């Protein structure tokens, strides 16, 4: 079984981002970038399926600037076999390559690569859309299992436990299918130094959106990006009695 | 211009998230229709017909729609989509799962998790875990939207008398099937709709430690929430999780107990009206946004608070 894993280079989850003063976006200059955390989980799941003898090849795809090859190399260092970089200088957080365009590029890649399964993150932590996997499943006419916390391959199906609002739900999807990962699916491993070195010699192709005939012009124009309203926090009370008094008489919420 | 709102329900009851989504639709303005897709969902359609401001209910009742599988529900929406300028789903896991599938098939870029309506094409949505608010304008002819419940007032549950029109289901796609569900049981108010939320973090130390949270929540008729750390440690089920990867809440009172306040958690609760933090670390980031902070041992403070209320 061949698995395709799309990964995204996004702002590191630990970075406190700053909105640009001119309101055009978020300042990403000199900010630490990493693989989107949900995508790390997707890579890990694919590698575990390979280690379990279920998968034979793992292909990683990223769409973004030349530097996005770093996240492809990271995925290779934990076990992916080869990579495809679809290079574009358009922003991938907002105002550039949107989930619909990403899904169209991935569809074209899937038609060439013919994977049996696609595992990808449920959302990226920059634009927080939570759309690409579902859109790709739609364009391919495949089944989808989103927000996965457990994946079992069962013959020609994947049995997937999903994290839904009321608890957990298990569905069975016919392969080929798309699975999007939730945080509790697994604990991604760190790449060992020798594997980081080996990853440098694994094959990586570089393409452009035009190679796949996809128009990446955005459908949503960014009118502005602003800081959220600031809360005036920091007030402290010294006792439970004072807290109850303030909640009753000052905040009037009790 | 008519707007289609997608109902959140469990085939028996209409969920409050639907009322919030109708509230969002009302801000855009226009005829509001509600789609109830399910199996044996007649009582849900009846409840939807009573929502104030709704002029028509579309009911698709079929066994293939009972479990909300995206592959089966999306074609039903596609079938009626051309009649609408906007299709709005509540930002619940149900519609986060289904709507992008509809959007892609209509060749539309969805607008996820809106928190504000500027005009019929322009919306506010949080990005970067709520650390920035983007205003985006759609150039698509049908706007496909998920709306964050806590950002919009509920439409009145009563007062409407819409007609119910049956529409055809499209059968079973054969691509997926429902196996089982494991639903967390709770007699408490629903987390996203509660007036008061009491939330616990890793500092509770164990499932037993969470008992003091339950006692306080019972006293306040509050819903219980949790940080990701408490969920990952297994103290409570994952559907209690508040934050970027869990639920977004905006109650009148949010009490954060033993929660340090990572940005991912703050993203899910910082729009609460009043925030109280109880933590032994006076430098915890949660105190930076809390209206009232109390520094000390939560195992002493919380039982004292419960007994004095």
Residues B55 and B145 grouped into a single domain? yes
User: Which residue of A219, A221, A242 to mutate against B (max B Cβ within 10 Å)?
Assistant: A219
Q: Report yes or no on B42 lying in a domain.
A: yes
Mean pLDDT of B149-178: 95
Q: How far is CA B119 from CA A213, B26, B32, B125, in A?
A: 33, 12, 16, 13
User: For A169-186, what is the mean pLDDT?
Assistant: 97
- Residue of B199, B186, B217, B216 whose CA lies nearest to B268: B199
What average pLDDT score do residues B281-304 get? 96
**Which of A70, A66, A127 minimizes the C-alpha distance to A101?**
A127
A143 contacts in chain B (CB < 8 Å): 71, 173, 175-176
Quick one: A251 exposed, middle or buried, by C-beta within 10 A (0-12, 13-18, 19+)? Answer: middle
Say yes or no: B107 and B207 in one domain: no
The H or E element spanning position A152 is strand A143-154
In a domain, B213, yes or no: yes
Tell whether the model's pLDDT for residue B75 goes beyond 80: yes
**Based on the domain organization, do B51 and B156 belong to the same domain?**
yes
- Going by pLDDT thresholds of 50, 70 and 90, the confidence category of residue A229 is confident
Give yes or no: residues B119 and B215 share one domain: no
Q: What is the pLDDT of residue B63?
A: 97
Pairing type for strands A157-164 and A143-154 reads antiparallel
Res. B124 pLDDT band, cuts 50 70 90:
very high
User: In angstroms, what CA-CA distances link A186 with A53, A60, A159, A160?
Assistant: 18, 18, 16, 13
Confidence category of residue B108, pLDDT binned at 50, 70, 90: very high
Give the single-character DSSP code of B239. G
Contact (CB<8Å) A236/B287: yes
Known binding-site residue numbers of B for FAD: 202, 227-228, 241-245, 258-265, 279
Q: State what percent of residues in chain A have pLDDT above 70.
A: 100
Residues A94, B74: C-beta atoms closer than 8 Å? no
Q: Which residues in chain B are contacts of A103 at CB distance < 8 A?
A: 104
B181 assigned to some structural domain: no
Contact B110 A129 (CB under 8 A): yes
Q: Is B173 a member of any domain? A: no
Residues in chain A with CB shorter than 8 Å from the CB of B173 are 143
- First-to-last C-alpha distance (Å) of chain B: 51
Give the other-Cβ count within 10 Å of A155's Cβ: 7
Examine the fold and report which residue of B127, B148, B166 is the final residue of a domain before the chain moves on: B166
Report if residue B149 sits inside a domain.
Answer: yes
The count of other CB atoms within 10 Å of the CB of residue A232 is 7
Please check whether residue A7 touches B, CB under 8 A. no
Q: Which of the four pLDDT bands, split at 50, 70 and 90, describes residue B304?
A: very high
Contact: A225, B253; criterion CB under 8 Å: no
Residue B247 included in any domain: yes
Q: Do residues A35 and A235 lie in contact, with contact meaning Cβ atoms separated by under 8 Å?
A: no
Count A/B contacts: CB-CB distance under 8 Å: 258
Same domain, B151 and B14: yes
Beta bridge partners of B200: B226, B257
Q: What is the pLDDT of residue B87?
A: 98
Q: Is there a contact between A220 and B138 if contact means CB atoms under 8 Å apart?
A: yes
Pull the structure tokens for residue B155: 């439409």
Residues B270, B138 share a domain? no
Q: Are residues B159 and B231 in the same domain?
A: no
Q: How many domains does chain B have?
A: 2
Rounded to whole angstroms, the Cα distance separating B146 from B236 reads: 28
Domain assignment of residue B76, given as a range: 2-166
pLDDT value at position B190?
Answer: 85
CB-CB: which of B93, B133, B253 is closest to A147?
Answer: B93
Give me the residues of A, 30-89, that contact B with CB < 8 A: none
Domains and CATH numbers, chain A: 2-250 (3.40.50.620)
| Amino acid B130: pLDDT | 92
Tell me how far apart the alpha carbons of residues B179 and A143 are, in angstroms, rounded to a whole number: 15
Residue closest to B22 by CA, chosen among B152, B205, B118, B135:
B152
Residue B193, pLDDT score: 83
* CATH value at residue B230: 3.40.50.1220
Nearest to B109 among A98, A126, A246 (CB): A98
Question: Cβ contact (<8 Å) for A94 and B173?
Answer: no
What pLDDT, in 10s, does the model give residues B190-228? 898 899 999 999 999 999 999 999 999 999 999 999 999
Which among B131, B180, B287 is the nearest to A170, CB-wise?
B180
Three-class DSSP category at B73: helix
Percent of chain B with pLDDT over 90: 93
Backbone phi and psi for residue B239, each to the nearest 5 degrees, phi listed first: -75, 0
> A130, B101: Cβ pair inside 8 Å?
no
Rounded CA separation B124/B135 (Å): 4
Task: Name the minimum distance, in Å, from the CA of B290 to any CA of chain A.
Answer: 5
């Amino acid at each position: 079984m061949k698995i395709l894993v799309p990964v995204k280079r996004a702002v590191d989850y630990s970075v406190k981002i700053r909105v640009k003063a001119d309101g055009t976006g978020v300042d990403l200059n000199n900010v630490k970038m990493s693989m989107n955390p949900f995508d790390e989980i997707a890579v890990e799941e694919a590698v575990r399926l390979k280690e379990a003898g279920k998968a034979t090849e793992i292909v990683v795809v990223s769409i973004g600037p030349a530097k996005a090859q770093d996240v492809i190399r990271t995925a290779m260092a934990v076990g992916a076999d080869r990579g495809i970089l679809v290079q574009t200088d358009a922003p991938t957080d907002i105002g550039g390559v949107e989930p619909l365009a990403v899904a169209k590029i991935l569809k074209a890649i899937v038609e060439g690569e013919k994977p049996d399964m696609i595992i990808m993150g449920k959302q990226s932590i920059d634009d927080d859309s939570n759309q690409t996997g579902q859109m790709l499943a739609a364009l391919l006419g495949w089944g989808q299992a989103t927000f996965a916390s457990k994946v079992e391959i069962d013959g020609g199906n994947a049995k997937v436990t999903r994290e839904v609002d009321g608890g957990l739900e298990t569905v069975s999807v016919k392969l080929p299918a798309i699975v999007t990962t939730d945080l509790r699916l697994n604990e991604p491993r760190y790449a060992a130094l020798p594997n980081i070195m080996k990853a440098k010699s694994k094959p990586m192709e570089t393409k452009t959106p035009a190679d796949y005939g996809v128009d990446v012009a955005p459908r949503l124009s960014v009118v502005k990006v602003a800081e959220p309203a600031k809360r005036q926090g920091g007030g402290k009370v010294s006792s439970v009695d004072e807290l109850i008094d303030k909640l009753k008489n000052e905040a009037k919420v009790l | 211009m008519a707007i289609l709102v997608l109902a959140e329900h469990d085939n028996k009851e209409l969920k409050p998230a639907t009322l919030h989504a109708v509230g969002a639709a009302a801000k855009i303005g226009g005829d509001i229709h509600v789609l109830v897709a399910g199996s044996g969902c007649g009582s849900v359609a009846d409840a939807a017909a009573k929502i104030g401001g709704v002029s028509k209910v579309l009911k698709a009742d079929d066994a293939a729609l009972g479990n909300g599988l995206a592959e089966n529900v999306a074609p039903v929406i596609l079938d009626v989509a051309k009649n609408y300028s906007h299709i709005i789903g509540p930002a619940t896991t149900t519609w986060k799962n289904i709507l992008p599938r509809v959007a892609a098939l209509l060749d539309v870029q969805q607008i996820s998790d809106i928190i504000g309506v500027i005009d019929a094409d322009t919306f506010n949505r949080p990005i970067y875990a709520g650390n920035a608010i983007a205003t985006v304008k759609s150039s698509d002819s049908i706007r496909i939207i998920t709306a964050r419940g806590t950002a919009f007032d509920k439409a009145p549950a009563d007062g409407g008398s819409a007609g119910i029109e049956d529409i055809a289901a499209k059968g079973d796609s054969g691509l997926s099937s429902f196996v089982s569900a494991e639903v967390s049981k709770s007699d408490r108010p629903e987390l996203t709709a509660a007036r008061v939320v009491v939330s616990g973090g890793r500092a509770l130390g164990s499932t037993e430690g969470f008992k003091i949270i339950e006692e306080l929540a019972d006293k306040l008729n509050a819903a219980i929430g949790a940080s990701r750390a408490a969920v990952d440690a297994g103290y409570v089920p994952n559907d209690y999780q508040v934050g970027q990867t869990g639920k977004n809440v905006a109650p009148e009172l949010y009490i954060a107990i033993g929660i340090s306040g990572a940005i991912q958690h703050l993203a899910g609760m910082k729009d609460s009206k009043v925030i109280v933090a109880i933590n032994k670390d006076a430098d915890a980031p949660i105190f930076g946004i809390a209206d009232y902070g109390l520094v000390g041992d939560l195992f002493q403070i919380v039982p004292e608070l419960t007994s004095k209320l």
